[in-house]
Amino acid sequence: MEAPLPEAALSRKRFSLYEQVMSNPAQLLWLMTILLVAGMIIIPTAYLAYEAMFSGESISLAPAINALTTSRARESIVNTVIYVVGVTLISLCVGVPLAFLVERTDISPLAKAAVRLTVLVSVITPPFLLTMAYVTLLGPNAGFINVALRKLLGLRGFRGPFNVYSLPGVLLLGSPRSIAMTYLMAAAAFERLPPELEEVAAITGASRARVLRTVTLPLIRNAIFGAALVSVSTALAAYGSPHMLGYSILTLRIREAMVRGNFPEAASISVVLTLVSLVVLLLYRRSISKGSFATVTGRGYRPGLFTTGRAKYILGFAAILYGLLAAVLPIGTLLLVSFFRTMGYGFTAGNWTVANYLYVFRDRFAINAFRNSILLSMGAATISVLLTIVIGYITVRQRTRTSSMIDYISVIPLGISGTALAVALIMTFTNQPFRNLQLYGTLTILLVCYVIRFYPVALRPVQTSMMQISSDLEEAGRSAGATWGGVTRTITFPLVKSGLTAGWILVYLQSLTELSASIILRHIGTDTISTAIMDVWDGGGGYQAACAMAILSMLMVAVIMGIGVVVLGKSFMKVVGSGGC
Amino acid sequence: MRKRIFTVVLSFALVILASFSAIASELVVYSNWPRDYMDQLKAFFEEKYPDVEMTYLRAAGAELATIFNREMAQGISTADYIFSDFDYMVGYIENGYIEPYVPEGMQYMSPGFYDPEGYWFAIDNGPYVIVYNTRFVSPEEAPKTWADLLDPKWKDAIGIVDPRTAAGVQTPIRLWTYYLEERIGEPFGWNFIAEMAKLNPRLASGHRGLMDLVASGEVLIGSEMPISQTIAAINRGEPIGIVWPAEGNAAVPNTAGIVKNARNIENAKKLHELLASTEGQEFLMSNWGTVPARYDVDWVTPDGKRISDIDIISIAIPEEVRQETIQRFTELMD
């Protein structure tokens, strides 16, 4: 048995711990950050689970099971499965061939540029804005395209031939962002393919098609699998587009339950949705951490291009068509409608006005929404980048079991849909002890939400830039007598600056157009651009004014994107495509 | 140096103090009315009371009721004044969330337009009508009765508000499924909704949204629309026609009341008084298209109807019926 330590030794021991922390304040900072990140994720999730399982007297799974087994809930589950599978398949069927066309074939540079630009537009444009445009174009009765086609083809009746309020409409309008993400992941894989393998296959007499089937596609299989998982995750969290088209998926059920005041049901569905998303996220992380991209590594020169012969023109046209349908047509429609006097008189003379823009510039609600979004986005981006500096440092520089765990925990928010997170935050900040913070109904609750949702998006570029710095540089700095702060300021920060800038811009862009959480958390004076557009579109001021607001928000996004490209060059597009995964 | 710092700090403190004293007192309104209507009211009220800043939370009726009930139960509400459908107002009064207050103009209000104990008065008791897009539907083709809505020619061309998001639509649904079934019988009752579901109606989340769909021609017939929204749309220049169904028009008071223990209760009383005054009633009638509660304010629709010309059927909807309506409507429509 050990003898107890004397009092003097104990006090000395406590002092040495204090001394240790004070001698390296970074450790204290790390500890606080880890606790903060863990708290931001664990506390709201715990409140959510408690609301889902507490039946008033005891804790059990019964309330959650009851909420999920009603006929309406079952229908939403089936719809969600259809939506997720449909969107993922469309994304793979469009995104991968597009990436192949651009990266590995000889189609015209114009077509390639059109695809690249459209992908960028799709990544940063919220799906609900595209849906707004397509409702105007393909609304079954008064949709511009439908009316024109009925006249052109001499069709009778007042309906069709297209109907955006249909399953194909819902799936196609849910896909643009997923297609873009799939494209970016597949394009990166195509670009990094080692050309030797294809060349060897070609030398042995294999046709181009066979090389593609037996060498190229198997090599990018893991990238396709990763892209599919990202699409699944994105589709599970979708809200705006299905909401506008009235397609009841689980995220809509959550909001509907909140509107009806059925909080246990909202919490139950949120928990289930979160668990499923986390499994998908875990699979994705495992797929990229297994070294499955081992063959897709550094290379000395670009792989050769497949010649497409006469098909070049058809394929080029297909690529440009994608650009037209996914970007030019919807954005052009929003732009035109934003100048309509009334919806009822469409493209008629005398129905044009700039009043909708004047309305936005004069309307206090709209101005406030723009101001809120800018403030929230800047705040969320800055806090997120500060968090990711610490998390990035721990996960990149300290290769321990704890740092791996932190790496996993820190990306968990990517698996929580905005709707579920908003419900969790309402549960947290309207119950004790957090109710005392009085965050409910304020901009701060939205800021907390954005930081939790989007700081993982900034993590990837920050981690990547940190990986590129050799620790020798910092050690040399310390050997020369520089303090921790001095090394960070003069060596580390300048080298990771581009990663931090990219992370900041990514979070800013995502926050600026966030809808699914904001629409639940908004309160007096805390509307954001997205909730204001939805409110105006949904009857709070008119469809044309909503289009004007949409165009202005897109301009803001474009300006920030432009800054990103100017500051970071071409690499910025790849960073945008990484999406924090 | 110290003196300079002291001067700077003092000036800063004075500036802050002055800015605080310049902040107007507040009035927080919870409203189920469209946002552009609320902006008009805000301007009207602040012109009368420049020292009071009015802010508002706008949401569709059902959502607003959930938010208000939850906040009041947890003691975290900031609401001073609330606009609400009558049946929700009854619930709020039962829960003790409303402060009784009798405004001066109440003696001029028609019976049924106010609560004698002063808990509420009606901002609007407007009837629901059928609306149609005049660019695509002629007055001859338009439905003449509620029963005409079930004509197969309106398949894919009719719209209705979803009771899961908006409370007002409960009024016409209750008219079709209960009052007209009692009065007339077939085709009314829940079978009416089942038949309407076969026409594949477009569901809108609120009446303003439904009006936009009709105005754009995406939906040709709005199966139910408060007359206030209809008049406002016609005044905006939208191509909208009105049908006064022969079976009678449903109406439920849309009420206003002062929130119990409101932080700015005096300002809430100012708004209550203003809305009950002749000037307030005229403002509501001309800007919101509402049917005034006061009998000394004359009301005429764009097609020349006066309130005495309309067969108004007053509707009451108990809370359990509201829940049942949502459930049955959902089952039939989905």
Q: For the domain that residue A407 is a member of, what is the CATH number?
A: 1.10.3720.10
B112 plus B15 within the same structural domain: yes
Flag if B330 and A344 touch (Cβ within 8 Å): no
The residue type found at B310 is I
- Segments in A345-492 forming alpha helices (H): 355-362, 364-397, 401-410, 418-429, 443-467, 471-479, 484-487
pLDDT tens column, B225-252? 998 889 888 888 889 999 999 998 888 8
Flag if B156 and A165 touch (Cβ within 8 Å): no
CA pair distance B21, B264, nearest whole angstrom: 17
Domain containing residue A454: 27-45+356-414+434-581
A157 at B interface, C-beta within 8 A: no
Residues A280 and A232 sit within 8 Å (Cβ to Cβ) = yes
Enter the tokens of residue A273: 């949705």
Name the percent of chain A lying above pLDDT 90.
Answer: 26
Mean pLDDT score of chain B: 87
Enter the tokens of residue A316: 């080029």
Answer whether residue A407 is part of any domain: yes
B162 plus B26 within the same structural domain: no
Which residues on B lie below 8 Å from A538 (Cβ)?
A: 205-206, 208-209
Most confident of A393-407, B159-173, B183-197, B312-326: B183-197
Q: Say whether B240 sits in a helix, a strand or coil.
A: strand
Q: Within its chain, how far is the Cα of A298 from the centroid?
A: 28
Q: Counting one residue from A and one from B, how many pairs have CB atoms under 8 Å apart?
A: 113
The per-residue pLDDT for A563 is 83
Answer whether residue B231 is part of any domain: yes
B284-293 burial by CB neighbour count: b if 16+ within 10 A, else e? bbebbbbbbb
The per-residue pLDDT for A211 is 79
B117 plus B6 within the same structural domain: yes
| Top-confidence residue, A202 or A169 | A169
| Number of separate helices (H) and strands (E) present in chain A | 30, 0
Q: Say whether A42 sits in a helix, a strand or coil.
A: helix
Which residues on B lie below 8 Å from A159 (Cβ)?
A: 156-157
Residues A119 and A184 sit within 8 Å (Cβ to Cβ) = yes
The per-residue pLDDT for A373 is 95
Span B118-140, average pLDDT = 91
Flag if A342 and B215 touch (Cβ within 8 Å): yes
pLDDT tens column, B168-218? 899 999 999 999 999 999 899 999 999 999 999 998 888 888 998 898 888
Answer whether residue A547 is part of any domain: yes
Residues A201 and A214 sit within 8 Å (Cβ to Cβ) = yes
Integer angstrom CA distances of residue A77 from A67, A291, B286 = 12, 34, 47
B206 plus B233 within the same structural domain: yes
Answer whether residue B305 is part of any domain: no
The per-residue pLDDT for A575 is 64
Q: Which of A143, A259, A344 sits opposite B165 (nearest CB)?
A: A259
Which residues on A lie below 8 Å from B217 (Cβ)?
A: 141-142, 343-344
B205 plus B247 within the same structural domain: yes
If one counts the domains in chain B, the total is: 2
Enter the tokens of residue B27: 């009035």
- Segments in B124-264 forming alpha helices (H): 170-174, 180-183, 190-198, 207-216, 227-236
Span B294-311, average pLDDT = 81
B103 plus B247 within the same structural domain: no
**Which phi and psi angles does B202 have, rounded to 5°?**
-80, 130
Enter the tokens of residue A312: 């070049």
Answer whether residue A494 is part of any domain: yes
List the end-to-end C-alpha distance of chain A, in Å, as a whole number.
52
The per-residue pLDDT for B197 is 94
Enter the tokens of residue A81: 């499965």
CA pair distance B129, B175, nearest whole angstrom: 12
Please tell me which residue of chain B has the smallest CA distance to A430: B74
Which residues on A lie below 8 Å from B76 (Cβ)?
A: 430, 435, 438, 440-441
Answer whether residue B214 is part of any domain: yes
Q: Which of B34, B39, B135 sits opposite A344 (nearest CB)?
A: B135
Domain containing residue B160: 128-251+310-333
Most confident of A46-60, A167-181, A274-288, B199-213: A167-181
Q: Is cis: bond before A161, omega within 30 of 0?
A: yes
pLDDT tens column, A459-516? 878 887 777 777 777 778 778 877 777 877 787 777 788 788 888 988 998 899 899 9
CATH code at position B64: 3.40.190.10
B87 plus B206 within the same structural domain: no
Answer whether residue A166 is part of any domain: no
A158 at B interface, C-beta within 8 A: yes
Which residues on A lie below 8 Å from B326 (Cβ)?
A: 260
The per-residue pLDDT for A320 is 92
A142 at B interface, C-beta within 8 A: yes
Strand boundaries in B66-220, DSSP class E: 81-85, 98-99, 121-124, 128-133, 158-161, 202-204
A159 at B interface, C-beta within 8 A: yes
Span A342-347, average pLDDT = 76
CA pair distance A194, A202, nearest whole angstrom: 14
Residues A77 and A268 sit within 8 Å (Cβ to Cβ) = no
The per-residue pLDDT for A482 is 79
- Restricting to A residues 67-86, those with a Cβ less than 8 Å away from any Cβ of B are 71-72, 75
CA pair distance B63, A258, nearest whole angstrom: 8
ipTM of this complex > 0.95?
no
Asked whether the predicted pLDDT for residue A244 surpasses 80, the reply is yes
A538 at B interface, C-beta within 8 A: yes
Span A409-430, average pLDDT = 87
CA pair distance B139, B312, nearest whole angstrom: 22
The per-residue pLDDT for A378 is 94
Mean pLDDT score of chain A: 82
CA pair distance B283, A309, nearest whole angstrom: 72
Which residues on A lie below 8 Å from B78 (Cβ)?
A: 441, 524
Please tell me which residue of chain B has the smallest CA distance to A137: B218
Flag if A539 and B34 touch (Cβ within 8 Å): yes
